[in-house]
Amino acid sequence: MKSPDKTIRDIDRTLNERYSGRLERFGDDPRTLGWDTRASQQVRFALACREIDFDGKTVLDVGCGLADFRSYLSESGHDCSRYVGVDINPDLLIECQQKCPHDTFLTGNLLIDELPDAKADCGVMFGVLNFRFSNMDNLTFAKSMITAAFARVNQALVFDLLTVIRDETYPEEDFVYYYNPADILDFVFTLTPHVTLRHDYASIPQREMMFCLRKHAAT
């Protein structure tokens, strides 16, 4: 039987092959990361900015991809004090560093790498938990990633997921994983009582949900 670390390394290898190939094909484009359009990608970013005021905060972007959230913060006038992007794919991070030379980018996986600089006031994870695994239970993986990311922030973490309460106009896809909102709620309440769930926004193009976990009550 494989150790959990070995299984995660195998998953990382598969994902790296996927996204390096897509980077070679599409370049610095949302399609490289599996988003359909930049406009729908930015819907997620705008929702996150409604939950958290990033101005003057240090920001940890887990699974930062091509640092699109960093670009969104700058373009929309949200002036974070420091941005740290973490991703398992070094090819993507080369692009990030060229695009954002004054920011910090770290190659690694929060579950198995130390990454001592991967800490901040606030954290985000966009699309990190959507890929369906054949060699690991998705809910187990999601719980581990949420726990690891929440432990590295001082104030709040925002993450999104696909939901089992699907938009019937969009066909079900077998390479992504759909989560039961109740399962995630039950779990995150073991981490903090200060939880927000958004399940009311339009499909982009599938129906999604977004959670905000806070270390302290919102003010």
> Per-residue pLDDT tens for 47-62?
999 999 999 999 999 9
In a domain, 176, yes or no: yes
In a domain, 207, yes or no: yes
Residue 1 is predicted with a pLDDT of: 41
CATH of the domain at 130: 3.40.50.150
Alpha helices in 27-165, H assignment, sequence order: 38-51, 68-75, 90-99, 138-151
**How many CA atoms lie within 13 Å of 15's alpha carbon, on the beta-carbon side?**
28
Residue 3 is predicted with a pLDDT of: 59
Strand partners, 160: 210
First-to-final CA distance of the chain = 48
Q: Is the pLDDT of residue 40 over 80?
A: yes
Contact between residue 67 and residue 99 where contact means Cβ atoms under 8 Å apart: yes
Domain count, the chain: 1
In a domain, 68, yes or no: yes
Contact between residue 128 and residue 145 where contact means Cβ atoms under 8 Å apart: yes
The reported pTM is 0.95
In a domain, 219, yes or no: no
Cα distance between residue 32 and residue 52, in whole Å: 27
Compute the average pLDDT of residues 185-209.
97
Q: Is the pLDDT of residue 100 over 60?
A: yes
In a domain, 110, yes or no: yes
Give 95's contacts (C-beta < 8 A, 6+ positions apart).
Answer: 23, 28, 66, 67
- pLDDT 10s digits, 179-192: 999 999 999 999 99
In a domain, 33, yes or no: yes
* Residues spanned by the domain of 22: 4-214
| Cβ atoms < 10 Å from Cβ of 165 | 12
- pLDDT 10s digits, 110-145: 999 999 999 999 999 999 999 999 889 999 999 999
